[in-house]
Amino acid sequence: MTDDDVDETGRALAERALELPELAHARTVAAYVSVGSEPGTRALLDALCARGVRVLLPALLPDNDLDWGEYAGSHSLARVQHRGKIALFEPPGARLGPDAVTGADVVLLPGLAVDARGMRLGRGGGSYDRVLARLEHAGAHPWLVVLLYDTEIVARVPAEAHDKPVHAVVTPSGVRRFPSA
């Protein structure tokens, strides 16, 4: 996809996501900045900020866990090259700690695919598995949403005993909810 295609898809994704009542009522949303060919998230991040939502973005730690910082607009992002990994855009300000995500009303998750059960396939680094375990351990129950392209909703992805379904997947063409989550 060209950069223009990713931007256009990101705008459509933002429109669909912003129609969700769960996002309309959220005070804090943990999100991420898309990279590479991932569906664009910047339009959504900016729209959430414009609504007065506190947006938390991850900062990758050396052990693949995630710390969190506040998003202050796309002008405030720092491109961070992690050794042996892809460069990520992270908030440059103060870090809030890995547990900051437990205060989110909604957590937007990256993924490669989601299946008909709502099971999410990640990139394999375990960062978001840790986030989901942290939420469960804290007794936090934010709404879990994966942002994908339409073609990334598949019949079945591999799942392990610790994997939990997400509440919804948002694609540029719509929203699919998973009642089993």
Which residues fall in the annotated binding site?
A: 33, 38, 120-128
Q: Count CA atoms within 13 Å of residue 33 on its CB side.
A: 25
What is the spatial distance between Cα 177 and Cα 127, in angstroms, rounded to a whole number?
24
Binding site residues for ATP, as ranges?
Answer: 120-128
Q: Residues forming the annotated binding site for substrate?
A: 33, 38
Closest CA to 83 of 67, 60, 65, 58: 60
Instruction: Kindly report the number of other CB atoms within 10 A of residue 136's CB atom.
Output: 13
